[in-house]
Amino acid sequence: MGSVLVTTSVENLQNGINSVIKTLGDEVGIYVSLNKTHEGVESALAKANIPTKKIFFIDCVSTQDTKNEEVVYIKPSDLEKLILTIKMFIEEIKPKKYLLIDSLATLLIYNNTNKVAAFVKTITDFASQKNVEIVALSQKTTGEELLDKIFNFFDKVDKK
Amino acid sequence: MNRREIIASTIILLALALLIYLTISSFKITPLAILSSNLEVTIPQEYQTVTPGSQIWFSTKVLNLADMGKRDVSLKYEVLDQNRIPVTSKTETVAVQTQASFVASLQLPTTMSDGIYSLKVTLTDSTTQQTIESENSFNVLAEKKEDYTQYLYYVPATIVILLVLSLIFFKGRSTLEKASLRLKIRRIVKKKLSQ
């Protein structure tokens, strides 16, 4: 599969996530949540009957670090720490895994376009080296300048 | 002259003679009994070691004077170096009677070098010119000027050390944070995948 950039409307974002996870269900997932708290994500996935036992959450929305010991909380403005966390998860998880980022455009609220583009480049390169499948979702209507910059970093762009 | 006149004259002559004798005796110059007197020079503890250019205070005591009444003497104060060469001196005239104690001071030259010096006091009877002497010694030690140039090396060295420590601290803190994060992630992965 390699790396895929999925651009979709806001209404279809969750459906897009659900279908990706369903497709990659046998693998271990690393879910970077930039739109919802991890409880919100788990709830949404549970509604779609998607088990989350094999999903590790990096919560960039919740402000407290004490809620769940099995979740890593990272500030969306701290891209360096986010990259480090993703890399550590990839290195620690031995079985086949995938990385899901929901959603790239949200990062633009806290960082400028170039920083986000650099973040995407670093992650896609690392994931590629480690043979990790990466799925990045982004709203169609926002961050067009970013999307123009990062299209080439992905093996495939899926416009839904 | 009758008998009465002779007696009166005699009495008058005797009285006159007595008067003359007493007058002469009051002017009689008596030596100051120098040999039986003592002259003491005392330098207080705080002036045992002094710096060039400072003042040295001391006391001079004249003891065991024969009771010859109040009289003037001159006191010469001299500071002598190791070669007995006078470095500075001062003379003053004072009145002594039986026992006398005087406090005096000498201004030392700024050019004095470090070493042991003698304070010599010479008492001279102003009239007979007889003298007695006494000495005491003291140290001259120049104050060592603080060499502040050594501190010039401390300032840049301190700055470098502080910079290095800051680097170690921040890098160390960053390394610690990374290690802590990795441990957390490892624990999460191990727990979840073992379920």
% of chain B with per-residue pLDDT over 90: 43
Q: Looking at beta carbons, which residues of chain B come within 8 Å of A71?
A: 188
A 126-155 residues with CB < 8 A to B: none
- Under 8 Å CB pairs connecting chains A and B tally to 34
Residue B145 pLDDT exceeds 70: no
The residue among A71, A88, A97 with the most chain B CBs within 10 A of its CB, best to mutate, is A88
Preceding omega of A77 cis (within 30 degrees of 0):
no
Task: Determine what percent of chain A falls in helix, strand and coil, rounding each to the nearest 5.
Answer: 45, 25, 35
CB within 8 Å: A92 and B189: yes
Q: Round to whole Å and give the CA distance between B34 and B187.
A: 105
DSSP lists the bridge partners of residue B118 as B80, B137
In this prediction, residues A8-35 reach a mean pLDDT of: 87
Of A20-24, A84-88, B97-101, the poorest mean pLDDT is in B97-101
Rg from Cα positions in chain A? 14
Query: A57 CB near a chain B CB, below 8 Å?
Result: no
Contacts of B73 (CB under 8 A, 6+ apart): B32, B62, B93, B94, B95, B96, B123, B124, B125, B126
Q: Quick: pLDDT tens for A52-65.
A: 889 999 999 987 65
Structure tokens given for B185: 């992630």
Distances (CA, A) of B12 to B8, B15, B18, B25, B73: 6, 5, 10, 20, 40
* Long-range CB pairs of A11-14, under 8 A, 24+ apart, other chains included: A12/A160, A13/A102, A13/A103, A13/A137, A13/A139, A14/A44
pLDDT tens sequence across A99-156? 999 988 889 889 998 999 999 999 999 999 999 999 999 887 666 777 778 888 888 8
pLDDT value for A64 = 62
Q: Give the pLDDT confidence score for residue A155 in this predicted structure.
A: 87
Pairing of strands B100-107, B55-63: antiparallel
Give the number of other Cβ atoms within 10 Å of residue B54's Cβ.
16
**Interface probe with B: pick from A55, A66, A78, A92, most Cβ of B within 10 Å:** A92
Q: Could you tell me whether strands B71-80 and B86-96 are parallel, antiparallel, or unpaired per DSSP bridges?
A: antiparallel
**Is B32's pLDDT higher than 60?**
no
CB nearest to B188's CB, from A53, A56, A81: A56
Q: CA of B73: how far to CAs of B94, B118, B126, in Å?
A: 5, 22, 5
Are A72 and B185 within 8 A, CB to CB?
A: yes
Question: Looking at the partner chain, which of A69, A71, A84 has a beta carbon nearest the beta carbon of B181?
Answer: A84
